[in-house]
């Protein structure tokens, strides 16, 4: 059956790229339909960014209660209902999913729960769901099917002994011991969450540091903090073998010093993502790809005219805020509202405690590119607000051009780092210098004062260190 409606835009995928594109197209008065297999919001909202942050807040609250004596009172015999902790995260995700569905209605976006298959430019088949067998016609198609967790071919994911982030977000029983492969943002966040509630965590990373993409000084600080919290961080370490048994998982770890065995209840794979194009594009339709990701031009159009792609499916960086940005740029461009602006500097955030956030160049990258730079640093231990609220761990680090004082990069580790990074992001967008950050009056006492002090420190003018 072919629908008698011709859409201005058919979107496959309802994650941060797909739903944002649909809403933006609706704002522009276009006839748009969004097809999503599960629930509006995609992986990020339902099985990633949002529910994981709910879990992390539970972990932070529990740790705050355990250490409440610093504020002059104590909480004794605290009981944790792990199933309720996990259940709250699902409620948060469901609430936000309902919010996206409301926005679809508000902006007159048609929403189909099902699976879409692109046969050719202008033609999409619904292959699963209540409308399976229906063909949709549209002048433009956007593929925003995102990514899925990378797994190991020889290890079956069963949701108990072996998990990816998706299965970990649906746990009802807390493992007593767990090994986490991969110390990127996902691995670090789950390591913090589970350790905070008492799980013995071994965090394993092949590269020489945790959070490998971050500035080395930041990574070293997080490694030290994790170790103090009781997380066993094994960097520069391989997983040479994995054997899954009925009651646990046996791993053989290897590094320059030799090998050792590790026995744990569960294994969490946090080793990256792979493109998710399964069943989204007809075998007869040959779209250009790069390492499995859809190749697009500056307008987000694929090699087939009239078929666009945005979000994680076009490749790194695999971040929800980048997916949304790309999607809005693509829609504005395809309908002649404005020329798409390419992704430039963008924040990266990890929501463990202490939090980590960064934008722009690391110090290592500045050296590699032969850039003349200087560094401004300010520790939260010298911040009155940070000490008052018992969050004095960490520091702000800004990389500054030697000649003009332009902000090349900013790196923060500490409480609220993921909120604070935005000021430096805006400064870089406006091409501000550290002098303008320093010259902006920051309220006292606030955590944000550390941003101004770090900027001042680049010139040796910080007041409080």
Please write the tens of the pLDDT for every residue from 356-374: 999 999 999 999 999 999 9
- pTM, full prediction: 0.95
| Contacts of 433 by beta carbon, 8 Å cutoff, 6+ apart | 400, 404, 405, 406, 407
Residue 259 pLDDT grade (very low, low, confident, very high; cuts 50, 70, 90) = very high
Task: Report pLDDT for 39.
Answer: 87
Task: Report pLDDT for 451.
Answer: 98
How far apart are the C-alpha atoms of 14 and 223, rounded to whole Å? 36
The more confident residue out of 154 and 411 is 411
Task: Report pLDDT for 43.
Answer: 86
> Active-site residue numbers?
444
Parallel, antiparallel, or unpaired: how do β-strands 273-275 and 147-149 relate?
antiparallel
Angle between helices 49-66 and 185-196 (to 10 degrees): 40
Residue 1 pLDDT grade (very low, low, confident, very high; cuts 50, 70, 90) = confident
Task: Report pLDDT for 231.
Answer: 98
Tokens 């406006």, located at residue: 430
How far apart are the C-alpha atoms of 373 and 409, rounded to whole Å? 10
Task: Report pLDDT for 3.
Answer: 75
Task: Report pLDDT for 77.
Answer: 87
| Cβ atoms of 333 and 300 closer than 8 Å | yes
Q: In this predicted model, what pLDDT tens digit does every residue of 338-348 receive, in sequence order?
A: 999 999 999 99
Task: Report pLDDT for 2.
Answer: 77
Q: In this predicted model, what pLDDT tens digit does every residue of 162-199 receive, in sequence order?
A: 999 999 999 989 999 999 999 999 999 999 999 999 99
Percentage of the chain exceeding pLDDT 70: 100
Q: Which domains occur in the chain, in start order?
A: 2-148+274-334 (3.50.50.60), 162-271 (3.50.50.60), 354-457 (3.30.390.30)
pLDDT surpassing 90 at residue 61: yes
| Cβ atoms of 183 and 203 closer than 8 Å | yes
């Amino acid at each position: 059956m072919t629908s008698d409606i011709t859409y201005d835009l058919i979107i496959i995928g309802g994650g941060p790229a797909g739903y944002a594109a649909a809403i933006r197209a609706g704002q522009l008065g276009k006839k748009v339909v969004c097809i999503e297999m599960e629930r509006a919001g995609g992986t990020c909202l339902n099985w990633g960014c949002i529910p994981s942050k709910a879990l992390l807040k539970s972990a932070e609250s529990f740790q705050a209660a355990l250490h409440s004596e610093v504020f002059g009172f104590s909480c004794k015999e605290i009981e944790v209902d792990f199933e309720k902790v996990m259940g709250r995260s699902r409620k948060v995700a469901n609430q936000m999913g309902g919010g996206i569905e409301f926005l679809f209605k508000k902006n007159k976006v048609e929403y189909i729960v099902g699976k879409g298959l692109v046969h050719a430019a202008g033609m999409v088949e619904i292959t699963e769901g209540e409308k399976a067998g229906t063909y949709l016609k549209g002048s433009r198609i956007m593929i925003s099917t995102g990514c899925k967790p990378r797994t190991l071919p020889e290890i079956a994911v069963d949701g108990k002994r072996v998990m990816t982030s998706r299965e970990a977000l649906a746990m009802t029983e807390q493992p007593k011991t767990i090994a986490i492969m991969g110390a990127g943002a996902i691995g670090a966040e789950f390591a913090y969450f589970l350790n905070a509630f008492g799980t013995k965590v071994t965090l394993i990373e092949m590269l020489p540091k945790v959070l490998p993409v971050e500035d080395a000084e930041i990574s070293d600080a997080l490694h030290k903090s994790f170790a103090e919290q009781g997380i066993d961080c094994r960097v520069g370490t391989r997983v040479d073998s994995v054997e899954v048994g009925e009651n646990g998982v046996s791993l053989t770890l290897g590094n320059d010093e030799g090998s050792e065995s590790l026995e744990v209840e569960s294994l969490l794979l946090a080793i990256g993502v792979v493109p998710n194009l399964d069943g989204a594009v007809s075998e007869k339709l040959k779209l250009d790809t790069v390492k499995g990701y859809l190749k697009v031009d500056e307008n987000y159009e694929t090699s087939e005219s009239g078929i666009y792609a945005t979000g994680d499916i076009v490749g790194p960086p695999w971040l929800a805020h980048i997916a949304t940005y790309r999607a809005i740029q693509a829609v504005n461009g395809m309908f002649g509202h404005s020329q798409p602006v390419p992704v430039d500097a963008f924040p990266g955030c990890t929501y463990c405690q202490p939090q980590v956030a960064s934008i722009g160049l690391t110090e290592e990258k500045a050296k590699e590119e032969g850039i003349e730079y200087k560094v401004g640093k300010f520790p939260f231990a010298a911040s009155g607000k940070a000490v008052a609220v018992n969050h004095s761990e960490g520091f702000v680090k800004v990389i500054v051009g030697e000649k003009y004082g332009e902000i090349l990069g900013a790196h923060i580790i500490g409480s609220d780092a993921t909120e604070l990074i935005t000021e430096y992001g805006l400064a870089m967008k406006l091409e501000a210098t550290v002098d303008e950050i320093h010259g902006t009056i920051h309220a006292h006492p606030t955590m944000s004062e550390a941003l101004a002090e770090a900027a001042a420190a680049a010139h040796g003018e910080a007041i409080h260190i």
